[in-house]
Chains A and B, each alone.
Chain A
Amino acid sequence: MAQKDLTPVHEIRPTTELKIPERFIPVPTLEPGHSFASVTDHISTIVLRKKTPVGWFVGFGISCILMGILMITITRLVFVGVGIWGINHPVGWGFDIINFVWWIGIGHAGTLISAILLLLRQEWRTSINRFAEAMTLFAVAAAGLYPALHTGRPWYDYWLFPYPNTMSLWPQFRSPLMWDVFAVSTYATVSALFWYVGLIPDLATLRDRSTNHVAKMIYGMGALGWRGSAKHWHRYEHAYLLLAGLSTPLVLSVHTIVSFDFAVGVIPGWHATFFPPYFVAGAVFAGFAMVLTLAIPARKFFHLEDFITMKHLENMGKVMMATGLIVFYSYVVEAFFAYYSGNVYERYMWLNRATGPYRHMYYALIVCNGLAPNLMWFKRFRTSPAMLLVTAMFANVGMWLERFVIIPTSLHRDFLPSSWGMYHGTIWDWGMYIGSMGLFLFLLFLFLRFLPMISIFEIRTMLPEAQAAHGEEH
């Protein structure tokens, strides 16, 4: 029988070749032509190569300089106290809380990508989850600096934690600030566990690939003796899925509880029931923007276009737009509530935002978070790394402005006009902010050099040979 006779009827194509327009051809999540070996070698070589690229040293050097600024700022803060910051009466929360919320928000994308997209079976998450999880951990580390240092006497920070003590004192568990301690520390711990569990099989790969004795020992210790047994994989996948299920409500709870820091207070501009969803949407928006900000240069620099394809960038752009629009909707709702409440303080709060001394911040916020994400409606922009980067930068700035608008703008006009004031960050506030970026980049550069930035074993499961293998179904 001739070969062509075996072709099923529906597979016979007309002889005149139909040209499928390019926009209907799906972009793959993994470029074709890879094998288990090539995927393993490509990603592990970035870590295991002997020669460190010059660009890495440049980036690492810059992050070290910024870290130096952070160290100087913290030293002065510990010696002098929070008086070096711009906070005053009535604005008791300034850059410290703005930056804390900004970083925590950025830290939401990692767990969202790892957990929620895993449960939703979004396979494209595989290429970016490790990177985003690392980013989460470092953002939470940067965020953690602020509440620890804004207490004024950070050497007493352990008082935040409940422990039986000779003073017979206990924390006030009814306070949102205590909820925050538990939410953020739980989030940091669970994110670290999730990240480490994901790393174990890849550390085993690095152990087996490494030729350097010391590196072999260190990766080997991290791998805990992982040998890829089917029984181990079975429990591993089970544990990973359970962790994803646990992290999903966790990630939503963290920014909810952060928003309670404000919503439980009676300040107009804070005391609003829509704060939890508004903050969570903002966190996802900020997180995806930061993943794009970091992934686009990293993809180019480490030649990872085969693994982080245009599909990933485009999907992240879509998520960024969707959450950006939710955030913008919240600004509209906020204005409507102020009007509809009929409360003179609430109305004044919004008028003060839009026309008061900080109105420029508010307008910039609307441009960054309200208008800029709409660029993502156009496929031309969604598929252009440069435009994605620009939109993401708008979002990064916009989310910082949002917290500025919420915190000092709500506080600086108190209920009593006699206590009105103004707030400006001092050079130490800025030093701390820029310094925390240094800490973030410092950790990120170390991660890029010493750990696989893409989950190798999960990429292996994406290959057609792996997808074709099937056991006896039950």
Chain B
Amino acid sequence: MALGKVIEGTYGVIAEFGEPQELLDAANAAREAGYTELDAYSPFPIHGLSDAIGFHHSRLSAVVLGGGIIGGLAGFFMCWYANVVWYPLNIGGKPYNSWPAWIPITFECTILFAAFAAVFGMLALNGLPMPYHPVFNVPRFDQASRDKFFLVIQARDPKFDIDAVWKFLESLGPREVTDVPW
């Protein structure tokens, strides 16, 4: 995920809130004020917060479906190829293509590939692992994994003007507003 171009060494401006509802209200207010490059940070998933910052859908379902289909086909193909083409075994005169016997393995492969797609797809779409990120430069950001809530307006936002954004965030009643250096 590209982080946008550097504007005067600033990633954005961050505001800290003490309650989940305050963050939700602030995120909604920022979106309504016309800011588009927002991100919010919370110690647990808050219902409606991704909508509030204008993030609606993820492509994860399609990725997982694709993983499952590939897994199922691969599992069945493996059984069929090994037991029909490469190393056919005559078991009691039964047909070589005894597909019902391969359903358990096909099923397990479907689940396995879909689960891999879900986990690695989620991480990839999220751009993780990412050990460094500008928000970690904010001194109090370690509280974002405990009990504090943060809203960032990024410098790459078309409406970004550092003084206006600062003033806007202060008007939302945060505990503190800080600059996020690169």
Interface residues of A (CB under 8 A from B): 35-37, 40-41, 162, 168-174, 178-179, 182-183, 186, 189-190, 193-194, 196-197, 201, 204-205, 207-209, 220-221, 224-239, 242-243, 246-247, 249-250, 253, 257, 260, 457-458, 460-461, 465-466, 468-474
Q: Is the CB of A242 within 8 A of B146?
A: no
**Which of chain A's residues have a CB closer than 8 A to the CB of B130?**
224-225
**Which of chain B's residues have a CB closer than 8 A to the CB of A189?**
112, 115
Query: Smallest Cβ distance from A220 to chain B, in angstroms?
Result: 7
Residue from the list A233, A235, A253 in contact with B108, Cβ < 8 A: A253
**Which of chain A's residues have a CB closer than 8 A to the CB of B68?**
246
Question: Which of A178, A190, A468 gathers the greatest number of chain B CB atoms within 10 Å?
Answer: A190
Q: Is the CB of B146 within 8 A of A470?
A: no
Question: Which of B19, B39, B44, B86 gathers the greatest number of chain A CB atoms within 10 Å?
Answer: B44
- Report if B160 contacts A (CB, 8 A): no
Q: Is the CB of A225 within 8 A of B135?
A: no
Known: A168-B86, A227-B135. A179 touches B122 (CB 8 A): no
Q: Is the CB of A230 within 8 A of B44?
A: no
14 contacts between A and B (CB under 8 A): A170-B87, A174-B83, A179-B108, A186-B109, A190-B111, A197-B122, A209-B146, A233-B45, A243-B115, A247-B111, A250-B108, A253-B111, A458-B44, A469-B20
**Which of chain A's residues have a CB closer than 8 A to the CB of B40?**
229-230
Q: For chain B residues 100-122, which have a beta carbon within 8 Å of chain A?
A: 101-102, 104-105, 107-109, 111-112, 114-116, 118-119, 121-122
Q: Is the CB of B145 within 8 A of A235?
A: no
Known: A40-B146, A173-B82, A235-B126. A473 touches B48 (CB 8 A): yes
**Which of chain B's residues have a CB closer than 8 A to the CB of A236?**
45, 122, 126
Q: For chain B residues 112-146, which have a beta carbon within 8 Å of chain A?
A: 112, 114-116, 118-119, 121-123, 125-126, 128-133, 135-136, 141-146
Task: State A443–B11 Cα separation when bound (angstroms).
Answer: 43
Q: Is the CB of B86 within 8 A of A233?
A: no
Task: State A172–B86 Cα separation when bound (angstroms).
Answer: 12
Q: Which of B2-10, B54-62, B168-176 contacts A (4 or more CB under 8 A)?
A: B54-62
Q: Is the CB of A228 within 8 A of B144?
A: yes
Query: Smallest Cβ distance from A79 to chain B, in angstroms?
Result: 33
Q: Is the CB of A204 within 8 A of B50?
A: no
Query: Smallest Cβ distance from B156 to chain A, in angstroms?
Result: 15
Classify the secondary structure of B's interface with A: helix
Query: Smallest Cβ distance from A247 to chain B, in angstroms?
Result: 8
Q: Is the CB of A190 within 8 A of B41?
A: no
Residue from the list A41, A209, A242, A466 in contact with B46, Cβ < 8 A: A466
**Which of chain B's residues have a CB closer than 8 A to the CB of A225?**
128-133
Task: State A35–B47 Cα separation when bound (angstroms).
Answer: 19
Sample of 19 more A-B contacts, CB < 8 Å, known A173-B78, A208-B143, A238-B61: A162-B78, A162-B82, A168-B86, A179-B104, A193-B116, A208-B145, A224-B131, A226-B145, A229-B41, A230-B46, A232-B128, A236-B126, A238-B60, A250-B111, A460-B43, A466-B20, A470-B47, A470-B48, A472-B51
Query: Smallest Cβ distance from B98 to chain A, in angstroms?
Result: 6
Question: Closest chain A residue to B128 by CB distance?
Answer: A224
Q: Is the CB of B104 within 8 A of A238?
A: no
**Which of chain A's residues have a CB closer than 8 A to the CB of B45?**
233-234, 236-237, 457, 461
Task: State A220–B131 Cα separation when bound (angstroms).
Answer: 8
Residue from the list B48, B82, B143 in contact with A472, Cβ < 8 A: B48
Q: Is the CB of A174 within 8 A of B126?
A: no
Task: State A236–B60 Cα separation when bound (angstroms).
Answer: 10
**Chain B interfacial residues counted at CB < 8 A:** 71
- Report if B162 contacts A (CB, 8 A): no
**Which of chain B's residues have a CB closer than 8 A to the CB of A201?**
43-44, 145
Query: Smallest Cβ distance from B141 to chain A, in angstroms?
Result: 8
Known: A471-B49, A472-B28, A472-B52. A228 touches B43 (CB 8 A): yes
Task: State A42–B141 Cα separation when bound (angstroms).
Answer: 20
Q: Is the CB of B82 within 8 A of A37?
A: no
**Which of chain A's residues have a CB closer than 8 A to the CB of B41?**
227-230
**Which of chain A's residues have a CB closer than 8 A to the CB of B161?**
none
Known: A35-B147, A233-B45, A468-B21. A243 touches B119 (CB 8 A): yes
Question: Closest chain B residue to A202 by CB distance?
Answer: B145
Task: State A193–B136 Cα separation when bound (angstroms).
Answer: 26
Task: State A173–B109 Cα separation when bound (angstroms).
Answer: 13
- Report if B13 contacts A (CB, 8 A): no
- Report if B73 contacts A (CB, 8 A): no
Question: Closest chain A residue to B64 by CB distance?
Answer: A242
**Which of chain A's residues have a CB closer than 8 A to the CB of B46?**
230, 233, 466, 469, 471
Q: Is the CB of A466 within 8 A of B44?
A: yes
Q: For chain B residues 16-31, which have a beta carbon within 8 Å of chain A?
A: 19-21, 24, 27-28
- Report if B33 contacts A (CB, 8 A): no
Task: State A41–B147 Cα separation when bound (angstroms).
Answer: 10
Q: 9 tightest CB-CB pairs across the interface, nearest first? A: A471-B48, A36-B147, A239-B122, A170-B82, A224-B129, A469-B20, A208-B142, A234-B50, A174-B101
Task: State A197–B122 Cα separation when bound (angstroms).
Answer: 10
Task: State A118–B178 Cα separation when bound (angstroms).
Answer: 38
Q: Is the CB of A172 within 8 A of B111?
A: no
Q: Is the CB of A183 within 8 A of B53?
A: no
Q: Is the CB of A235 within 8 A of B114?
A: no
Known: A224-B130, A469-B24. A178 touches B105 (CB 8 A): yes
Question: Which of B89, B98, B115 gathers the greatest number of chain A CB atoms within 10 Å?
Answer: B115
Query: Smallest Cβ distance from B90 to chain A, in angstroms?
Result: 12
Known: A170-B87, A208-B142, A466-B46. A182 touches B104 (CB 8 A): yes
**Which of chain B's residues have a CB closer than 8 A to the CB of A220?**
131
- Report if B79 contacts A (CB, 8 A): yes
Question: Closest chain B residue to A197 by CB distance?
Answer: B119
**Which of chain B's residues have a CB closer than 8 A to the CB of A457?**
43-45
Q: Is the CB of B118 within 8 A of A242?
A: yes
